[in-house]
């Protein structure tokens, strides 16, 4: 690992919030090759981690669900995990239990499609009955989805929250019926191992720091940049904004952030907002999109304005969806930082752990890839891109 990539890895890990069973620190990657969160090397874990989620920092190892879940957690930590007893939920055998999965957003976003497919495939592999609902980016609908799945007989819930604040009614309904809730990909307000079991997801601050460094390097440290923020009201958009802004301010004084508006994690909105920003800032040099869908929308607006992505305007995205990685390989985007949506194995092994005396970790931060010109072509063919 080069000095630069090693430093980037430190920056990424410095963004981790230590809590639950997760230990923060400058951990060495368990996988072979450099972690993509550690920099843009040709041997990044775009290839070494493959498709499966890997845990970034040491945490309690959840046992394999149903004797066979492919958990990829790190070494066991000493602290006790969250058990059904401490949570106040009855002991269950997952094999004879109905599990509900609440998806937050439309599966036209490859992140969402891959996430739902991963949860569904792992439930099938383990022989667990799963019911699913999609709230299509509507928090009230997600509240009613969760309550509907409880009415349908779900005794355990996996929730991908739309919003960090708005799910209190359905979480309270679940709690009142002693139905445990595991959150994935975004957090919710409340107390771990009480209002919900815990959280599994990415290091969003770390992603944003890498995005800022990619933008700073691509612009040679100067120029006007716009931010396309994610949907307001959740930790992902908040961290991806503050992490980027703080890193730009700290390291790239020649870069000015001239606009920062929500594109709702949505391609069409990303396009519309970028078109407006370009009208008031015709000399815009960079767009940081807090997900790849918005980055694709930004590129449409850039083309419509007669400019070239990669040449006139540098675009950095987050997620690592196939089209964005293809754009990085083609040179129309600078980079995209992965958000691995394949939650199935870790989600079900965490639930299995919850029903054992060792308990489940209350925070699991996964390791994500980093797709740059150095590894994008390879990533498109090695199974790491979705």
Report the relative pairing of strands 98-103 and 129-134 from DSSP bridges: parallel
The yes or no reply on residue 342 touching ligand AHR (CB under 6 A) is no
Question: Cβ of residue 94: shortest distance to ligand AHR, in angstroms?
Answer: 25
Query: Using CB under 6 A, which of the segments 66-74, 80-88, 105-113, 175-183 binds ligand AHR?
Result: 105-113
Minimal distance, residue 210 CB to ligand AHR, in Å? 14
Distance CA 231, CA 28 (A): 33
Assess 319 for contact with ligand AHR (CB under 6 A): yes
Among 84, 269, 339, 340, binds ligand AHR (CB under 6 A): 339
| Segment interacting with ligand AHR, rule: CB under 6 A, options 104-112, 171-179, 328-336, 358-366 | 104-112
Which among 103-111, 254-262, 329-337, 365-373 is the span making contact with ligand AHR, rule CB under 6 A? Answer: 103-111
Among 186, 224, 367, 370, binds ligand AHR (CB under 6 A): 186
The strand pairing partners of 102, in sequence order, are 133, 159
Q: Which is nearer to ligand AHR, 199 or 265 (CB)?
A: 265
Contact with ligand AHR (CB under 6 A): which of 109, 262, 271, 384? 109
Instruction: Restricting to residues 224-243, name those near ligand AHR by CB under 6 A.
Output: 236
Nearer to ligand AHR, 236 or 365 (CB): 236
Q: What are the strands, taking DSSP E only, across the chain?
A: 54-55, 98-103, 129-134, 156-159, 181-184, 199-201, 223-229, 255-262, 286-289, 314-319, 335-338, 363-367, 370-371
Residue 256 contacts residue 284 (beta carbons within 8 Å): no
Using CB under 6 A as the binding rule, whether residue 162 contacts ligand AHR is answered as no
User: Is residue 146 a contact partner of residue 167, using CB atoms and an 8 Å limit?
Assistant: yes
Binder among 41, 269, 291, 384 for ligand AHR (CB under 6 A)? 291
Determine the Cα–Cα distance for residues 115 and 122; give it in Å rounded to an integer. Answer: 11
Residue 265 makes contact with ligand AHR by CB under 6 A:
yes
Question: Is 101 near ligand AHR (CB under 6 A)?
Answer: no
| Binds ligand AHR (CB under 6 A): choice among 33, 53, 63, 111 | 111
| Terminal Cα distance for the chain, rounded | 26
Please check whether residue 53 is in contact with residue 339, taking contact to mean a CB–CB distance below 8 angstroms: no
For the chain, what's the residue count?
386
Centroid of chain to Cα 55 = 13
Characterize the bridge pairing of strands 156-159 and 181-184.
parallel
Residues binding ligand AHR (CB under 6 A): 105, 109, 111, 185-186, 236, 265, 291, 293, 318-319, 339
């Amino acid at each position: 690992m080069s000095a630069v990539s090693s430093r980037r890895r430190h920056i990424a890990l410095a963004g981790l919030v230590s809590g639950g069973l997760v230990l923060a620190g400058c951990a060495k990657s368990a996988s072979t090759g450099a972690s993509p969160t550690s920099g843009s090397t040709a041997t990044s874990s775009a290839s070494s981690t493959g498709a499966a989620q890997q845990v970034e920092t040491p945490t309690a190892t959840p046992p394999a669900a149903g004797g066979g879940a492919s958990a990829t957690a790190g070494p066991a930590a000493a602290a006790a995990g969250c058990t059904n007893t401490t949570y106040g939920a009855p002991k269950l055998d997952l094999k004879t239990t109905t599990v509900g999965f609440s998806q937050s957003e439309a599966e036209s976003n490859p992140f969402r499609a891959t996430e739902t497919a991963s949860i569904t495939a792992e439930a099938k592999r383990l022989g667990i009955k799963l019911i699913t609902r999609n709230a299509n980016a509507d928090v009230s609908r997600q509240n009613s989805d969760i309550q509907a799945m409880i009415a349908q007989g779900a005794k355990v819930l996996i929730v991908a929250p739309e919003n960090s604040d708005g799910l209190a009614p359905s979480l309270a309904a679940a709690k009142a019926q002693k139905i445990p809730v595991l959150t994935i990909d975004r957090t919710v307000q409340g107390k771990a191992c009480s209002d919900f079991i815990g959280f599994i997801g990415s290091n969003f601050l770390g992603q944003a720091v890498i995005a800022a460094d990619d933008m700073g390097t691509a612009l040679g440290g100067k120029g006007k940049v716009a931010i396309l923020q994610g949907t307001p009201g959740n930790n992902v958009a908040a961290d991806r904004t503050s992490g980027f802004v703080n890193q730009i301010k700290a390291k790239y004084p020649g870069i000015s952030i001239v606009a920062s508006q929500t594109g709702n994690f949505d391609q069409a909105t990303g396009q519309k907002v970028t078109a407006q920003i370009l009208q008031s800032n015709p000399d815009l040099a960079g767009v940081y999109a807090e997900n790849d869908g918005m980055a694709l929308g930004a590129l449409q607006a850039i083309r419509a304005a007669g400019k070239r992505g990669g040449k006139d305007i540098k675009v950095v995205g987050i997620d690592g969806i196939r089209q964005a990685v293809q754009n990085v390989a083609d040179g129309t985007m600078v980079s995209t930082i992965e958000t691995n949506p394949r939650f199935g194995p870790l989600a079900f092994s965490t639930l299995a752990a919850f029903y054992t005396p060792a308990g489940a970790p209350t925070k699991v931060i996964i390791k994500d890839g980093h797709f740059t010109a150095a590894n994008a072509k390879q990533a498109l063919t090695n199974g790491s891109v979705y």
